[in-house]
Each structure stands twice: as structure tokens, then as C-alpha cells.
């Protein structure tokens, strides 16, 4: 059951509909500005003929001030329009980038938990941050420059034909060849760019993992291996860039060659047609004005190709189905009682390898179900099903009589609390970490949670108390202290259903007793599923499920199971901890 990865290819039409059309006003203004700018840009080449023939050759000096004035105005218009253009469109492009990033992140967070099992977080960071950058070239000046370029080229061709149609043919032909080469080259480059985003994401992802796991890597002396993997990644990236460089430089060089060829031909033809100096100069200038945008277009083309490749990758991600799109999970649960019923539940991560086989049990509202068993037996998977991180392949789980797979995730999870082994604390203050599921909780609630989880027992010793910053840039906490913060957080969230994965690591006796005490408070009155390792927790449980190879081997209370003298008894007597 691998999450499918549809290959997406964003079409021009989609881009037009979703990106260009909603900004039609701005882009229209952009096009208008580029039109003015390009029209003004044609004044200097036009001016070469009167300057040459009337002023330099015929010495009609009275025309000079006019000519200079017209030229100055034209240059000024060009400068102002291109400035305004950049300001309007580049700002809008950046705005779009931030909107898109937010949209992609939002979608990403709505993807099923399973999706993240198979992904490097660094790679996903790159998907959110880098892949959308390309649209800068679509909305930014790129697209209008392209249109402007085409316009200038067309206008220039008009002027060229007016001066000399035959000579024009000599310019247009090689340039058409160039156009075809460019188009061909870009269709080759698009997949290369697309691949590049993927490689970058992989390499960045691996590097992030390396840095996060630096202790393990150093501990196992695995640096050479990491270096090798990174080198291979960087090499792959280099090869990809080389591939696109070869194509782009072929485009540029063939452009230069064909332009050169056209110039040689023009020189010959202007001799043949006996052009005046002014005509020759004007023709050459217009020719430059026609060719420049075409060459420029090849650059813009490469930017646009990159933009499309990035959008392709973004689209791939956006096409992945979210875990709750509101069509299947339509049942809203108000206040949960917390009665769970597992009926013949089976689950497999990979087809043909069942991890849970026909599990059936019920957990009454407010009861504590302890899951015990050897590692790999399926305890976490059961907890994952209760948390709706996973869905049963067959069988049903009901909550208060409702099929859990039909219940809206938001309405369910707002009443769910999860405390995991290596609990997630983020950089920030202890208070922020506790407040995170309920940012609007009152100070009294926070204090109550803090006391119940014995967090104040260590924060009182900190100068800033609950406002002490933890994490990389702050205080380092012990495992037991981190656990207590996670417990305080869960107490504050006040969930109806609680999933608890007890830490296996040995804590000092003092921490241990604090945690036992606070867990007791936490579990009170809530339906709790606990992957239990502490005897004290297991003894408190309403029922113990002994899981063996994905099935329930035994069930009952501690005393019942001890009396039964079976698997639980073995686990209990052979291991001090289960
Ligand atoms: P426990 O919590 O009892 O240690 P788990 O429920 O984590 O056991 O795992 C049960 C089985 O499922 C194990 O064989 C494990 O290898 C497999 N498993 C767990 N998570 C995944 C996953 N994301 N993909 C594939 N197999 C998995």
C-alpha cells in the first residue's frame, strides 16, 4: 500500500487559468507598459537614419536639437516604464510565491501520516520552499518580457521589410532556424529541470538527516559513508546541471553563429542594393532590435521552463489525496464518551504482510487499556488505528457506536491527546510548548497542568520559570523533564481519548515517581490506550491486551493474567519491565 505518486504535467491552460487569469489586470498593465517601453525602444534605431543622412551627411543642423529631444524622451520613457513594470510584477510574483508556499504547506499537513513514513523531511521542505519559486518567472517580468520581445521583434521585422524585403528575408531565415532550435532545446531541458528539483530535494533531505543524526553517525564512525552518499548526490546534481548547461549553451552559441551569418549576408546585400549609409545603419540597428529579444527570449524560455518544471512537482504533491476531504468522514462528533469497539480489525503496511490479524476487543468509556508484548508485535499499530493515523484494511473500529472511519478527523482529533515516547517539543519556551494544543487556555489552567505534571518541580529552579527557552537555542532538558512537559501539555488539552506510549528509557527514581503520579492524573476519566512498559501503569489498567505477532494472545487484568500463568506471566516474571 504505497501512497501513489501521480506524475503531473502542468499544462499551459492550467497555468493560464490559475495563475495568469486571476491577475489579468496587473498583467494587462504590465503588457501595456511593455508596449510603451518597447515602442520607445524603437526610437533610437529609427533615429540612426536621420542622424546619419540628414545631420552627418547633409548637415541640416536645425534638426539636431529635435532629434536629441525625441531620443531623450524615448530613453526616459523606457527607463520609467521598465522600473514601474518590475515593481508591479515582481512584487506580485513574490506575493504569489508566498501564497503558493502556504497552500502547499497546508496541503502537506493534511496528507495521511503514512505519507510521511516514506519521505525525508528535508526533501519536503525543499518542495514547499523551492519548487514554487519558479512562478516568479511566470508572473514576474519573465512572461511580459517574452510578449514584449515578440512584439519588438515583429515591429522590427515590419521596419526591416519597409527598408528592404530581400535583406529582411536574409535575417528572418536564420532567426527562424534559431527559434526552432530553441523550442526543441527547451522541450529537452524541461525534464532535466524537473529532475533537478527532485535531486536537490533528496540531497538536502539527506543532509538534514545527517545533521540531525550527527551523534549516531559519529558514534558509529559512519562519517565516511555519509560523505560518500552526499558526494554521490552532489555529483548527480552536477551532472544534471551539466546536461542543461550543454543544451542552453548550444542554444546561445547557435544564436551567436546565426546572427553573425545574417550580418555577413546583410553587408554583402547592402553593397549589392547600394544602400545609403543611413539606410544600412538603420537596417542593422533594427536587425539588432529584432534579434536581441529573440536571444533574450531563449533566456526567458529557460526561466519559464524551470517554472513549469517546479509547478509540475508542486502539482504532484497537490494531487495526493488528503486524509479527510470531508466526503467520507462526514460524521461530526460533539462530545465523545469514549467507548471503543474493535471488530475483526486487520491491517498491513505492505500487501501480503499482515501486521494485525482479526483483532477484536472493546474499551469502555474512561477505561485504561494497556497494550503489552514484545517489540514488533503490533502495539504501535493498534495505537495508530485508534489515533486515526492508520485505517483498518478490514474490520471496523467504532467509537460510541459510530464507525471511526466515517468520523470527521477535526472533530475527533480535537478530543484526542497523544503522548509519545520521544515526545515532540519544539524550540520556544516551556509555556509555549505546553500551551500548543490550547493556545487560549487561562493561566489558571496552565498552572494546574504544570502542577499536575510536576513541571514546576524543575521550572521553579529556572530563573525564567515557564518562560525558559528550550531546544537548540535554550536549556537542554533531561528525558524525564521532557516527558513531564508532554504530560502537562496533554493534561491542559483535556482530551477524551488518550494515547500514551510510555518511554522505555530508564528514568531516575525521582523522575519515575513524578511521572507515575502525573500519568495517573492524566489518565483519570479518559479512555486511554497505553503502550505500557511500567508495571505501575499496567497494574492500574482496566484491561491488559497481550499482543503477539499481530493478534491478542491474552487479555484480562494484572491479577487475572498472573493467575492464568500464561504468556503475561512469562513476560512479567522473566523481565522486570514489560
Ligand atoms: P510494536 O509497537 O509492538 O513494537 P509496531 O506496531 O510498531 O510494533 O510494528 C508491528 C510490525 O509492523 C513490525 O513488524 C514492524 O516492522 C511493522 N511496521 C511498523 N511500521 C511500519 C511501516 N511504517 N511500514 C512498514 N512496516 C511497518
Assess whether pLDDT exceeds 50 at residue 3: no
Residue 114 forms part of a structural domain? yes
Residue nearest to atom 11 of ligand 1 (CA): 376
Residue 461 forms part of a structural domain? yes
Chain-centre distance of CA 236, in angstroms? Answer: 22
Strand 527-531 relative to strand 497-501, pairing: parallel
Atom index in ligand 1 nearest the CA of residue 371 equals 3
How far is the centre of ligand 1, averaged over its atoms, from the C-alpha of 531 (Å)? 13
Highest mean pLDDT among 75-84, 187-196, 240-249, 274-283: 75-84
Residue 137 forms part of a structural domain? yes
Cβ distance 319 to 313 under 8 Å? Answer: no
Residue 285 has a pLDDT of 84
Cβ distance 157 to 259 under 8 Å? Answer: no
More confident residue, 508 or 174: 174
Sheet holding 551-556, edge to edge: 416-419, 497-501, 527-531, 368-372, 543-548, 551-556
Q: Are residues 156 and 259 in the same domain?
A: yes
> Among candidates 294, 291, 270, which has minimal Cα distance to 280?
270
**506 band by pLDDT with thresholds 50, 70 and 90:** low
Domain-ending residue, one of 288, 318, 348: 318
Grid coordinates given for 483: 516527558
Residue 182 forms part of a structural domain? yes
Q: Is 187 in the pocket of ligand 1 (CB under 6 A)?
A: no
Residue nearest to atom 22 of ligand 1 (CA): 349
Q: Are residues 458 and 490 in the same domain?
A: yes
Q: Is 379 in the pocket of ligand 1 (CB under 6 A)?
A: yes
Q: Is 349 in the pocket of ligand 1 (CB under 6 A)?
A: yes
Q: Are residues 185 and 330 in the same domain?
A: no
Grid coordinates given for 355: 501486521
Strand partners, 114: none
Domain-ending residue, one of 318, 336, 364: 318
Residue nearest to atom 5 of ligand 1 (CA): 378
Q: Are residues 363 and 469 in the same domain?
A: no
Region of poorest pLDDT, from 5-9, 173-177, 385-389, 509-513? 5-9
CATH number of the domain enclosing 294 = 1.20.1560.10
Assess whether pLDDT exceeds 50 at residue 177: yes
pLDDT digits (tens, 9 = 90+) for 434-482: 998 888 889 999 999 999 988 888 888 888 898 888 876 667 788 888 8
Atom index in ligand 1 nearest the CA of residue 381 equals 6
- List the domain range (segments joined by +) for residue 157: 95-318
Residue 46 forms part of a structural domain? no
Classify 371 as helix, strand or coil.
Answer: strand
Instruction: Give, as one character, the DSSP assignment of residue 343.
Output: E
More confident residue, 504 or 414: 414
pLDDT digits (tens, 9 = 90+) for 95-152: 889 998 999 999 999 999 889 988 878 788 888 888 888 888 777 777 777 788 888 8
CB atoms within 10 A of CB 149: 22
Q: Are residues 339 and 428 in the same domain?
A: no
Residue 67 forms part of a structural domain? no
User: Does pTM surpass 0.85?
Assistant: no
Residue 310 has a pLDDT of 85
Atom index in ligand 1 nearest the CA of residue 384 equals 6
Q: Are residues 281 and 349 in the same domain?
A: no
Q: Are residues 310 and 375 in the same domain?
A: no
Residue nearest to atom 15 of ligand 1 (CA): 376
Residue 507 has a pLDDT of 66
How far is the centre of ligand 1, averaged over its atoms, from the C-alpha of 293 (Å)? 59
Q: Are residues 329 and 293 in the same domain?
A: no
Q: Is 278 in the pocket of ligand 1 (CB under 6 A)?
A: no
Q: Are residues 130 and 259 in the same domain?
A: yes
Grid coordinates given for 345: 480489525
Grid coordinates given for 186: 527547451
Q: Are residues 484 and 553 in the same domain?
A: no
Return mean pLDDT, the chain.
86
Q: Which residues contact 289 (CB under 8 A, 6 or more apart)?
A: 41, 42, 45, 152, 153, 156
Domain-ending residue, one of 267, 298, 318: 318
Q: Are residues 313 and 328 in the same domain?
A: no
Atom index in ligand 1 nearest the CA of residue 375 equals 4
**Number of Cα atoms under 13 Å in the Cβ half of residue 476:** 2
Q: Is 355 in the pocket of ligand 1 (CB under 6 A)?
A: yes
Assess whether pLDDT exceeds 70 at residue 27: yes
Q: Is 156 in the pocket of ligand 1 (CB under 6 A)?
A: no
Residue 82 has a pLDDT of 85
Instruction: Give the chain's domain count.
Output: 3
Atom index in ligand 1 nearest the CA of residue 350 equals 25
Q: Are residues 331 and 305 in the same domain?
A: no
**73 band by pLDDT with thresholds 50, 70 and 90:** very high
Residue nearest to atom 6 of ligand 1 (CA): 378
| Mean pLDDT, rounded, for 478-507 | 85
Residue 578 has a pLDDT of 47
Residue 577 forms part of a structural domain? yes
CATH number of the domain enclosing 411 = 3.40.50.300
Distance CA 544, CA 467 (A): 39
Residue 90 forms part of a structural domain? no
Amino acid at each position: 500500500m504505497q501512497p501513489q505518486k501521480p506524475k503531473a504535467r502542468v499544462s499551459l491552460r492550467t497555468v493560464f487559468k490559475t495563475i495568469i487569469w486571476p491577475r489579468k489586470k496587473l498583467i494587462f498593465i504590465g503588457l501595456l507598459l511593455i508596449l510603451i517601453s518597447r515602442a520607445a525602444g524603437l526610437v533610437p534605431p529609427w533615429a540612426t537614419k536621420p542622424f546619419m543622412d540628414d545631420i552627418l551627411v547633409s548637415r541640416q543642423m536645425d534638426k539636431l536639437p529635435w532629434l536629441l529631444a525625441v531620443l531623450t524622451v524615448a530613453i526616459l520613457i523606457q527607463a520609467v516604464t521598465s522600473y514601474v513594470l518590475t515593481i508591479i510584477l515582481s512584487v506580485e510574483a513574490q506575493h504569489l510565491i508566498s501564497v503558493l508556499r502556504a497552500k502547499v504547506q497546508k496541503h502537506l499537513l493534511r496528507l495521511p501520516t503514512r505519507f510521511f513514513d516514506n519521505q525525508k523531511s528535508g526533501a519536503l521542505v525543499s518542495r514547499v520552499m523551492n519548487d514554487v519559486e519558479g512562478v516568479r518567472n511566470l508572473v514576474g517580468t519573465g512572461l511580459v518580457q517574452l510578449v514584449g520581445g515578440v512584439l519588438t521583434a515583429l515591429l522590427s521585422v515590419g521596419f526591416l521589410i519597409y527598408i528592404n524585403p530581400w535583406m529582411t528575408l536574409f535575417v528572418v531565415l536564420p532567426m527562424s532556424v534559431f527559434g526552432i532550435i530553441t523550442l526543441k532545446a527547451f522541450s529537452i531541458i524541461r525534464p532535466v529541470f524537473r529532475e533537478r528539483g527532485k535531486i536537490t530535494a533528496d540531497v538536502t533531505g539527506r543532509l538534514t538527516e545527517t545533521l540531525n543524526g550527527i551523534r549516531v553517525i559519529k558514534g558509529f564512525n559512519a562519517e565516511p559513508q555519509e560523505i560518500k552518499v552526499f558526494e554521490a548526490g552532489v555529483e548527480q546534481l552536477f551532472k544534471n546541471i551539466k546536461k542543461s548547461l550543454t543544451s542552453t549553451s548550444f542554444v546561445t552559441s547557435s544564436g551567436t553563429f546565426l546572427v553573425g551569418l545574417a550580418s555577413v549576408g546583410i553587408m554583402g546585400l547592402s553593397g549589392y542594393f547600394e544602400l545609403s549609409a543611413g539606410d544600412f545603419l538603420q537596417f542593422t540597428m533594427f536587425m539588432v532590435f529584432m534579434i536581441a529579444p529573440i536571444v533574450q527570449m531563449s533566456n526567458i524560455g529557460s526561466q519559464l521552463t524551470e517554472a513549469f518544471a517546479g509547478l509540475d512537482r508542486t502539482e504532484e504533491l497537490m494531487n495526493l489525496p488528503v486524509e479527510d476531504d470531508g466526503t467520507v468522514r462526514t460524521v461530526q462528533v460533539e462530545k465523545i464518551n469514549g467507548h471503543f469497539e474493535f471488530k475483526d480489525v486487520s491491517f498491513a503496511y505492505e500487501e501480503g504482510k499482515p501486521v494485525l490479524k482479526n483483532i477484536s476487543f472493546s474499551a469502555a468509556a474512561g477505561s485504561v487499556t494497556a497494550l503489552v508484548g514484545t517489540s514488533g508485535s503490533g502495539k504501535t499499530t493498534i495505537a495508530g488505528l485508534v489515533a486515526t493515523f492508520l485505517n483498518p484494511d478490514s474490520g471496523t473500529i467504532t467509537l460510541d457506536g459510530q464507525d471511526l472511519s466515517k468520523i470527521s478527523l477535526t472533530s475527533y482529533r480535537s478530543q484526542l491527546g497523544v503522548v509519545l515516547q520521544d515526545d515532540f517539543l519544539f524550540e520556544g519556551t516551556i509555556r509555549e510548548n505546553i500551551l500548543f494544543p490550547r493556545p487560549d487556555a487561562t493561566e489558571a489552567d496552565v498552572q494546574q497542568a504544570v502542577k499536575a505534571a510536576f513541571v514546576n518541580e524543575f521550572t521553579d529552579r529556572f530563573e525564567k520559570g515557564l518562560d525558559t527557552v528550550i531546544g537548540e537555542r535554550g536549556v537542554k532538558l533531561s528525558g524525564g523533564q521532557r516527558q513531564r512537559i508532554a504530560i502537562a501539555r496533554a493534561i491542559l488539552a483535556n482530551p477524551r481519548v488518550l494515547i500514551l506510549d510510555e518511554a522505555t528509557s530508564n528514568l531516575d527514581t525521582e523522575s519515575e515517581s513524578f511521572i507515575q503520579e502525573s500519568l495517573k492524573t492524566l489518565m483519570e476519566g479518559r479512555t486511554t490506550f497505553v503502550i505500557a512498559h511500567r508495571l505501575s501503569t499496567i497494574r492500574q489498567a482496566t484491561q491488559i491486551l497481550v499482543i503477539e505477532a499481530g493478534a491478542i494472545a491474552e487479555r484480562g487484568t494484572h491479577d487475572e493474567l498472573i493467575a492464568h500463568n500464561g504468556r503475561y506471566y512469562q513476560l512479567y516474571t522473566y523481565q522486570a519491565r514489560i
